[in-house]
Structure 1
Amino acid sequence: MFSTLGYYICIPFAALVKLFYNLTNSYGVAIILFTVAIKLIMLPFQIKSKKSMIRMNRMSGKMQEIQKKYANNQAKMNEEMQKLYEEEGVSPMSGCLWSFIPLPILIALYSIIRQPITHFMMISKETALGLLDKAAAAGVDISALTMTSKDTVQFSAYGQIGLVKAITSQCPEIVEGVDGWINLNYNFLGMDLTVTPWEAVKNFTFTAAIIGLILIPILAGGFQLLMSIYTMKNQPQQGANGASMKSMMYMMPLMSVYIGFIMPAALGVYWIAQSVFSLIQEVIMTKFFNKKIEEEENARYEARQAERQKRMEEGRKQQAERKNQEERKQTLKEKQKAAQAAKATKAAKAGISTTEAGRVGNRPYARGRAYKADRYDEKE
Structure 2
Amino acid sequence: MKWGFIRVAILYDLLGKLLYGIYSLFQNYGLSIIAFTVVVKVFLLPLALKQTNSMKQMQTIQPKIQALQQKYKNDKQKLNEKMMELYKEHNYNPAGGCLPLLIQFPILIGLFRVLQNPQTYVFPEGTYQHVAQSFLWLPNLGNPDPYYILPVLAALTTYLSTKMMSTSNSGDQTQKTMNMIMPLMIGWISIRFPSGLALYWVVSNVFQMIQQYVMMRSVVSDKEVSR
TM-score, normalised to structure 1, is 0.55
Counterpart position of 2:169: 236
Selected match of 2:154 from 192, 210, 220 = 220
Alignment of 1:2-81 (within 5 A): 3-81=5-83
State the secondary structure of the residue aligned to 2:81.
helix
1:246 aligns with 176
The separation in 2 between residues aligned to 1:74 and 1:14, in whole angstroms, is 50
1:186 has 2:127 as partner = no
Equivalent runs, 1:1-380 vs 2, <5 Å = 1=2, 3-121=5-123, 164-165=128-129, 168=130, 184-191=131-138, 192-197=140-145, 200=146, 211=147, 214-232=148-166, 234-238=167-171, 242-292=172-222
Tell me if structure 1 keeps the 8 A contact 2:116–2:197.
Answer: no
TM-score (structure 2 length as normaliser): 0.88
SS at match of 2:44: helix
> CA RMSD for the aligned pairs?
2.2
Counterpart AA for 2:80 = N
Which one has a bigger Cα radius of gyration?
A: 1
Structure with higher helix content: 2
Give the fraction of aligned pairs with identical amino acids, expressed as a percent: 29
1:67 and 1:164 map into 2 onto residues whose CA distance is 58
Deviation string, structure 1 residues 92-150 (Cα, Å, up to 9, x no partner): 11111222455433332232233334311365xxxxxxx6xxxxxxxxxxxxxxxxxxx
Q: Would you say how many aligned residue pairs link Structure 1 and Structure 2?
A: 224
Gaps of 5+ in 1: 124-130, 132-162, 169-183, 201-210, 299-380
Distance in 2 separating the partners of 1:222 and 1:237: 18
> C-alpha distance in 1, partners of 2:108/2:47?
18
1:167-217 CA distances to partner (integer Å, 9 max, x unpaired)? x3xxxxxxxxxxxxxxx22221242101113xx2xxxxxxxxxx3xx2011
Secondary structure, aligned partner of 2:63: helix
Structure 2: which 5+ residue stretches go unaligned? none
Q: Does structure 2 retain, via aligned residues, the 8 Å contact 1:26–1:187?
A: no
Instruction: Give the 3-state SS of the residue equivalent to 1:187 in structure 2.
Output: coil
Instruction: Give the aligned residue type for 2:52.
Output: K
Contact 1:7 1:119 survives alignment (8 Å) = no
Quote the Cα distance in structure 1 between the aligned partners of 2:221 and 2:74.
37
Superposed displacement of residue 235, structure 1: 2.7
